[in-house]
Amino acid sequence: MQTKIKDRIIKYVDENSSWLIEKIFDVVAQNTINSPPGGNENNGQQVIEKIFRELNLEIDRFSPDDVAGLKDKPYFLKGRTYKNRDNVIGYSGADRGFTLIFNGHIDTVPSDKFQWSTSGPFEPELIEDKIYGLGVCDMKAGIIASIFALKVIMDLKINIKGRVIIESAVDEEFGGANGSLACISRGYSGDLAIITEPSSMNLCISNVCSKTLLLRVRGGEGLNYFGKKFTHDNPIILMSKLLLAIKDYEEYLNSLKDKYPVYRKIEKPFNFLFSDIMAGEIGPDKIMTTPGQCLARIYIMNYPDIDNKTFDSMLINFLNNYPEIRKALKQKIIQIEDYSRFIEGGEIDFKDKNIKKIIESIKKNAKELTGSDLNTGAALGGTDFFAFSNYGKTPCIVLGPRGGNLHAADEFVELKDLLDLSKIFAMLIYDYCC
């Protein structure tokens, strides 16, 4: 019976791929840019809700502002606004058994400001089996693939005894997570959650913790070759030493990977993102002088069991090994500030035999449905994984497509992966909810 179902799923997905592509185009064409403290997500949520209605799903549309008690939770990120920013949830099934949640965020970063050449940011195109457009990989296509998987089961007239929930959440970018946390606070939980972030077809059972930091280095303004010497170092030079020390810290964390079974197989678990740096101004009418300060913004990670306090202390303790940096930290010439929420890590409990069985069945089905193996791994950047694993009483994995140019111009996703994921997700729905 299962072999026949797999054949039917493969046939359906392959013959109806145009539906998947069309719906991806529809949602990518909408500006859903997250611009803290607000955003434009409802432009895309209108499309998602329309798809849900076409499939006759039960729908729950709500703003995080509507969730009683959410803003009093310690995990709520304050300072965000939610006018015209609704979560949209669609679900189906008799709710007698296994509950499966698919989660994705509809918001994107404002990389429409970059120079796009292959397509326009809101003008999606399919070129050589890649779909281009802003947010297509991160992560609108993943949301549509999960909806397509549910459509496959429904169109094949297979009765859903359990429940399948699809969450299109707002405000994930810029360390948000309030959208998914609002779903959890509203009461949505299950036996397994799948976040369809672009994991390059790795089945991620763990997620690193992370945060964005603002580095501030002060200096003495003026010339350093005439007149009285100032006491502070040139902040540009000191910042360069600080950044190199943090790069050393990255290598130190990578050297610890053998302590973590999921991470020891990953060649380089940590790749810090050195995003922005600024000091002084450049221009023909700008004074040549030592800048008063140098600023840099970086995104760093650590292992999933590290809490916020330990995250900070590990970094500072490492930097104190550098005498010049230790002295500057003590004198507050160097200041390190949080620039985003601490995004907690999380991990599936493999001691749970049921979860282990589910993971093994996903991998087995993936091989039979697509001909390719799914490698077990970890999500190496911030996702909403922690919301489910730490607060939602729901085991969580991340499984999504390959793609490229995320948070940049000409973002794309691999079409084959989306078709493969649709088959894998549909079979998972059949195995556990039907």
Average of pLDDT values for 297-319? 98
| Judgement on whether residues 386 and 349 belong to the same structural domain of the protein | yes
Could you say which DSSP state residue 229 is in? P
Percent share of the chain, pLDDT over 70: 97
What is the number of alpha carbons within 13 Å of residue 138 lying toward its C-beta?
Answer: 25
Single-letter code of the amino acid located at 149:
A
| Judgement on whether residues 289 and 360 belong to the same structural domain of the protein | no
The values of phi and psi at residue 222, to 5°, are: 125, -175
| Judgement on whether residues 152 and 10 belong to the same structural domain of the protein | yes
Query: What does the pLDDT read at residue 281?
Result: 86
According to DSSP H, which parts of 156-261 are helical? 178-185, 235-254
Query: What does the pLDDT read at residue 1?
Result: 60
Q: Cα separations (Å) of 327 from 247, 306, 310?
A: 19, 27, 21
Residue 58 reports pLDDT greater than 80 = yes
Residue 22 reports pLDDT greater than 90 = yes
| Judgement on whether residues 25 and 143 belong to the same structural domain of the protein | yes
Q: Give the model's confidence band at 289: pLDDT under 50 very low, under 70 low, under 90 confident, else very high.
A: confident
* Alpha carbons 232 and 216: distance in angstroms, whole number: 14
* Alpha carbons 133 and 28: distance in angstroms, whole number: 6
Residue 428 reports pLDDT greater than 90 = yes
Query: What does the pLDDT read at residue 216?
Result: 98
| Judgement on whether residues 64 and 146 belong to the same structural domain of the protein | yes
Residue 231 reports pLDDT greater than 60 = no
Query: What does the pLDDT read at residue 225?
Result: 65
Give the bridge partners for 421, in sequence order: none
Nearest to residue 345, comparing CAs of 389, 298, 377, 376? 389
| Judgement on whether residues 260 and 190 belong to the same structural domain of the protein | no
Counting every residue written for the chain, the total comes to 434
Give the bridge partners for 294, in sequence order: 217
| Judgement on whether residues 70 and 196 belong to the same structural domain of the protein | yes
Domain containing 280 equals 210-338
Q: Where a domain ends, among 338, 368, 384?
A: 338
* Alpha carbons 411 and 413: distance in angstroms, whole number: 7
Average of pLDDT values for 381-390? 96
Average of pLDDT values for 129-153? 98
Cα distance from N-terminal residue to C-terminal residue, the chain: 13
| Judgement on whether residues 195 and 230 belong to the same structural domain of the protein | no
Average pLDDT, the chain: 95
Q: Give the model's confidence band at 3: pLDDT under 50 very low, under 70 low, under 90 confident, else very high.
A: confident
| Judgement on whether residues 161 and 268 belong to the same structural domain of the protein | no
* Alpha carbons 431 and 434: distance in angstroms, whole number: 6
| Judgement on whether residues 333 and 353 belong to the same structural domain of the protein | no
Residue 26 reports pLDDT greater than 80 = yes
Q: Using one digit for the tens of pLDDT, what is the confidence trace for 337-355?
A: 999 999 999 999 877 888 9
Query: What does the pLDDT read at residue 229?
Result: 60
* Alpha carbons 308 and 331: distance in angstroms, whole number: 24
Within a 10 A sphere around the Cβ of 409, how many other Cβ atoms? 17
CA Rg value for the chain: 24
Query: What does the pLDDT read at residue 350?
Result: 76
Q: Using one digit for the tens of pLDDT, what is the confidence trace for 189-201?
A: 999 999 999 999 9
Instruction: Kindly provide the b/e burial profile for residues 303-337, where b requires at least 16 CB atoms within 10 angstroms of the residue's own CB.
Output: bbebeeeebbebbeebbeebeebeebbeeebbebe
Query: What does the pLDDT read at residue 282?
Result: 87
Residue 286 reports pLDDT greater than 60 = yes
Average of pLDDT values for 292-309? 97
Residue 153 reports pLDDT greater than 90 = yes
Residue 401 reports pLDDT greater than 90 = yes
CATH code of residue 379: 3.40.630.10
| Judgement on whether residues 298 and 371 belong to the same structural domain of the protein | no
Q: Where a domain ends, among 338, 354, 374?
A: 338
Residue in this structure with the two tokens 């993971």, named with its chain if needed = 359
Q: Give the model's confidence band at 146: pLDDT under 50 very low, under 70 low, under 90 confident, else very high.
A: very high
Percent share of the chain, pLDDT over 90: 91
- Strand 209-218 to strand 334-338: parallel, antiparallel, or no bridges (unpaired)? antiparallel
Q: What's the number of domains the chain is made of? A: 2
CATH code of residue 279: 3.30.70.360
Q: Where a domain ends, among 338, 362, 387?
A: 338
| Judgement on whether residues 361 and 290 belong to the same structural domain of the protein | no
Query: What does the pLDDT read at residue 223?
Result: 66
